[in-house]
Amino acid sequence: MKWCVIKIFQRLFAITAVIGIVAVGMCPATTEASQRLASIAGIGDVMASQSVSESVRILEVGDQKEYTRIADALSAASDGDTIRIHTGTYREHGLTVDRRVAIFGVGRPVIDVEEKGEGIRITAGNVHIEGLEIRNVPTSHSRDLAAIRFERVSGGKVIGNILDNTFFGIYLARSHDMEIRDNELRAYQTRESVSANGIHLWNSDRAVIKGNVVIGHRDGIYLEYVQESSIHNNHVEKNIRYGLHFMFSDDCIYHDNRFENNGAGVAVMYSRRVIMKHNEFVNNWGAASYGLLLKEITDSEIFENEFSGNTIGIRSEGSDRVKKYRNRFHRNGWAIRIMASSMDNLITENNFIDNAFDVSTNSRQQSRNRFEANYWDKYSGYDLKGDGFGDVPYRPVRLFSLIVERNPMALMLLRSMFVQILDLTERVMPTITPETLVDEKPLMREVRL
Amino acid sequence: MIGKILKYQLRDVIRSRWVIAYVLFFLVLTDILFRFGGDGLRVASSMMNIVLIVIPLASIVLGAFYLYNAREYIELLLCHPVKRHQLFWGMFLGLALPLVAAFSGGVLLPYLYNAASAEAWRAALMLVFTGSMLTVIFVAIAYYIALRFDDRIKGLGLALIICLFFTIIYDGIILFVIYIFSSYPLEKPVLVLSLLNPIDLGRILLLLQFDISALMGLTGAVFREFFGTALGMAISLASLLLWLAVPVIAGFRRFLVKDF
Amino acid sequence: MIQIRDLNKKYGTLQALSSVDMEIEPGRITAVLGPNGAGKTTLIKSILGLVKPDSGTITVDGIRVNGESRYREMIGYMPQLARYPENLTVTEIVEMIRDIRKSATGTGSSSSRDEMTGPADESGTKSGLSQAAGSDDMSVRNGKAPSTQKRDAHGETDLELWQRFGLDSEKDKPFRTLSGGNRQKVSAVLAFLFRPKVLFLDEPTSGLDPVSSSILKDKILAERDRGTTIILTSHIMSEVQELAYQVVYLLEGKIYFEHSVGGLLDETGQPTLERAIAVTLDRRLEVPAGAGGAS
């Protein structure tokens, strides 16, 4: 807190030095000091990125202010202007931002769309939107109505907004180099057909999406044809379909996100060179649900993630050359379900703990994936050599998991004595489980993460 | 009067070696699991397998043995002004309660001194509840058998067979049915089948605690409805209670008219 | 004292008792005899209420035996093989039986004989009782069985046998550690403890040493003299001859004959009961039921 204040004062000082006393002078005395400081700090950001030589105006919107409607301020503004929207509820919709302005909410003003259309559409580059609350964007079957939509722009920031009960939340179409940070998005639909995505990116490269909270949408974060973007530190929860839905998006990285309790988990599809690290995939339950679905993902890395309490930790279909290491799989129904269509994957140095099934596969054919040096809590071998690796190989595919594969209902017998005896006999004399799906040197101790 | 009979029963049973062994068995096992495996949740989950095998077996065997050994004692007490129904409850609770206490104590004590988390406690209590129910159910079955068959070899044999049947054979049959009729919609029948076996019931109750994430992988609306809601819990509990009531009442009625 | 009318009991296809009619008079010792499987045990257990007959009635001192537990207050039973909870000490077993009697009806141990005659004996006050019983507990626990006279004065439990068997030395031992003879002694003490009006003794002296055996026999005769009705079974005919007034001989669930011991000896002219019975069976004498008792 103290640090914050100092920082703000520093900035305040810098701004004052650059643009003179004008901005401060125009601040209405009625606003709280802290708000004033914060918004001025924001202005500083924008101003700093622009050339100082332009004549800059600040347009005030609010009750008994220069403008009472946001739309009026927007049409009056010119490139480089700042629009300050003060506390209050603005019943406006279909706002268009077609010039380079910065829009700040002062004391969290509410824009209530009243189910009449979209919220704000931005068609100019480097627009900054911060501190607003936008409500009640209606479901539409013909139009992608969003609270904030960027259309064919380059650069721009959406920071610290609250989007409540919206169809789409933040929508980026053919917009590059965007930053979407610290927003909170909530939707309340319960059916997939009438809900839309929280943060939706289409054909938009080099985006940074961080620190957002996305709850209750169809897909929490949706990326399609997005390159070289980073998605990190987001909290994505209780979305109807996927927490993160990721298609045809190469060279992206996502890390330190938490995906919890989403309908079908996280789906990463048809992409190359994706890095997934430090994420948490938690409690994604359901018949067709998983922590992480990999579909036709190649040359990617998945490491140091936590998969906990998911029906399936990772489901891998047609994904090749994916390296999964140093992940922790804990209390999942199936830790890894690797389909026969996946090849040349390396699974190493992961911890498998308390999963009902560690690994399952849909085929008894020879596996073309390597399991090596993982820690399996069900491993009961010994290490006489003392090199830290068990002397006997571990077979993570249980006979019972093959039975369940064919007859899902047999799952009812999980942990029954009968099934344990079946598994034991198979372990002693393997005849049915795939011979090559084996960890030749299982770790004796958990990998320290 | 039930209280008086119970008092002396308890005094007798508590001093017997097998009850002490029974406590120690669970105590040592739980303690070892804590030492080797860490958190209380894992311990409860590991104990689940043991509980589902050991408790039915121990309860039915001890129950049958106990009642066979108490035959002369029952005759003696019945020559005193004791009503048969009082004696029955005294004898029944006199064994069931110490067994439940021994098992619960053995399992829960390590939770106390290992300062387990709230979640672990919940799992442990669920485990103890299920184990206790199974104890009482299998003691009741044992009593019924011992009252039905005067020949103790026959009775003990039958007790073992019943135990074996419910622990292993029954599940084998379910799996067989699932395989044979795999092309038919079997959700409901399979669900009903597992409700008909107290051990399966206990297992499902515990699976709802420990392996819910796997169970949610079951396709089919019936399962999702059953496992996804409190309904499953309620139905399992109700069936378990029914499983308790049937042998107890059967044994009780037999006790009232039996020739000793 | 005990009336049995047309008593029938079948175990599966085996007719354990068929149309048994019998009357046992008060204040006498009746021996129920017969080969193994003749129905002796079934008969006694029927009177005790342990076995439920298929048909027929049994009344004990005017109370019908049909699941009604209260009449058992006037009954003492010494089984052939007594087994009590293994881990209870002798003291605790005595305490337990007393406890159970006490709480059974609220009268129990302190009821005098006269009060016990009918179903109307619920009138005893509980507070007085439990006090009295309390003092009993103490004495047994301390191992000092007070004198019989003192007991009589209280009109309470009878610990004469406890004393004469010298059970004080065994009082803190768990039941499972007792020898067969000591178990039998404990069983005898408990049978006589509440001064029952009717006593059932199943092979009472088996397993007892000669000294204890004669102590027990003395006690049986003394009780008879006090007016107790006693039914016993035994394989030792000299014992029966010594104790019993009459014998009831059962064969295949029927009363084969019923005769006074004296009459039987006179009629057969034999010196011992054993021989007298052998002769009687040999001759296949048909003695009408009840005729023997009159002579």
Across the interface, do B204 and A413 touch by the CB < 8 Å criterion?
A: no
Which of C148, C178, C194 is the last residue in one of the domains? C194
| C274 and C188 within one domain | no
Complete DSSP assignment for B11-30: HHHHHSHHHHHHHHHHHHHH
Per-residue model confidence as pLDDT tens digits over B148-181? 999 999 999 999 999 999 999 999 999 999 888 8
Res B220: pLDDT = 67
Which of C194, C211, C238 is the last residue in one of the domains? C194
Reported confidence tier of residue A230, pLDDT bands at 50, 70, 90: very high
Which of B96, B92, B21, B67 minimizes the C-alpha distance to B159? B67
Across the interface, do A420 and B191 touch by the CB < 8 Å criterion?
A: no
| C268 and C210 within one domain | yes
Res C284: pLDDT = 61
| A334, closest residue in chain B (CA to CA) | B214
Which of A294, A417, A399, A398 minimizes the C-alpha distance to A352? A398
| Count of domains forming chain B | 1
CB nearest B218 (choices: A357, A411, A420): A411
| C101 and C40 within one domain | no
Res C125: pLDDT = 37
| C11 and C98 within one domain | no
B1-33 as b/e, with b when 16 or more CB fall inside 10 Å?
bbebbbebbbbbbeebebbeebbebbbebbbeb
Chain C interface residues (partner B, CB cutoff 8 A)? 11, 45, 48-52, 67, 69-70, 72-73, 75-77, 79, 81-88, 92, 96-97, 99-101, 103-105, 108, 174, 200
Across the interface, do C49 and B82 touch by the CB < 8 Å criterion?
A: no
Residue B54 at interface with chain A, using a CB cutoff of 8 Å: no
Res A251: pLDDT = 95
Domain ranges of chain A: 1-56, 400-433
Across the interface, do B213 and A310 touch by the CB < 8 Å criterion?
A: yes
Separation of alpha carbons B248 and B143, rounded Å = 8
Per-residue model confidence as pLDDT tens digits over C229-258? 999 998 889 999 999 999 999 988 888 888
Res A301: pLDDT = 96
The answer to whether A26 touches A39, Cβ cutoff 8 Å, is no
Which of C194, C228, C254 is the last residue in one of the domains? C194
Separation of alpha carbons A170 and A147, rounded Å = 6
Complete DSSP assignment for A328-340: EEES-SEEEEE-T
CB nearest A415 (choices: B168, B207, B216): B207
Residue C21, domain extent: 1-61+197-295
CB atoms within 10 A of CB A156: 24
Please indicate, yes or no, if residue B196 is contained in any of the structural domains. Answer: no
Helix B170-180 and helix A417-428: axis angle, to 10°?
80
Rg of chain A over all Cα atoms, to the nearest angstrom? 26
Strands, E assignment, chain C: 2-11, 14-24, 29-33, 55-60, 63-64, 75-78, 198-202, 229-233, 246-251, 254-260
Residue A387 at interface with chain B, using a CB cutoff of 8 Å: no
Assign A235 to helix, strand or coil. Answer: strand
The answer to whether A239 touches A209, Cβ cutoff 8 Å, is no
Separation of alpha carbons C56 and C285, rounded Å = 27
**Mean pLDDT of all residues belonging to chain C:** 78
Look at residue C278 and tell me whether its pLDDT is greater than 50: yes
- Highest average pLDDT, of A44-53, A231-240, B31-40, C49-58, comes from A231-240
Look at residue B100 and tell me whether its pLDDT is greater than 90: yes
Residue B221 at interface with chain A, using a CB cutoff of 8 Å: no
Across the interface, do A411 and B215 touch by the CB < 8 Å criterion?
A: yes
The answer to whether C263 touches C295, Cβ cutoff 8 Å, is yes
| A283, closest residue in chain B (CA to CA) | B213
Please indicate, yes or no, if residue B134 is contained in any of the structural domains. Answer: yes
Total residue length of chain C: 295
Separation of alpha carbons A31 and A21, rounded Å = 18
Please indicate, yes or no, if residue C77 is contained in any of the structural domains. Answer: no
Res A240: pLDDT = 94
Please indicate, yes or no, if residue C74 is contained in any of the structural domains. Answer: no
Please indicate, yes or no, if residue C153 is contained in any of the structural domains. Answer: yes
Separation of alpha carbons A174 and B251, rounded Å = 77
| C210 and C150 within one domain | no
| C108 and C181 within one domain | yes
Res A271: pLDDT = 95
Please indicate, yes or no, if residue B194 is contained in any of the structural domains. Answer: no
Separation of alpha carbons C16 and C267, rounded Å = 30
Please indicate, yes or no, if residue B49 is contained in any of the structural domains. Answer: yes
Separation of alpha carbons A138 and A188, rounded Å = 12
Please indicate, yes or no, if residue C182 is contained in any of the structural domains. Answer: yes
Res C14: pLDDT = 86
Res A154: pLDDT = 95
Look at residue A12 and tell me whether its pLDDT is greater than 70: no
Residue B27, domain extent: 2-182+246-257
Please indicate, yes or no, if residue C105 is contained in any of the structural domains. Answer: yes
Separation of alpha carbons A432 and A298, rounded Å = 30
How wide is the angle at C-alpha A241 spanned by C-alphas A235 and A242, nearest 5°?
45
| C221 and C286 within one domain | yes
| Count of domains forming chain C | 2
The minimum CA-CA distance between C273 and chain B, rounded to whole Å, is: 31
| C171 and C91 within one domain | yes
Please indicate, yes or no, if residue B155 is contained in any of the structural domains. Answer: yes
Q: Establish whether chain A is in contact with chain C, requiring a minimum of 3 CB pairs below 8 angstroms.
A: no
**Neighbouring chains of B at 3+ CB pairs within 8 Å?**
A, C
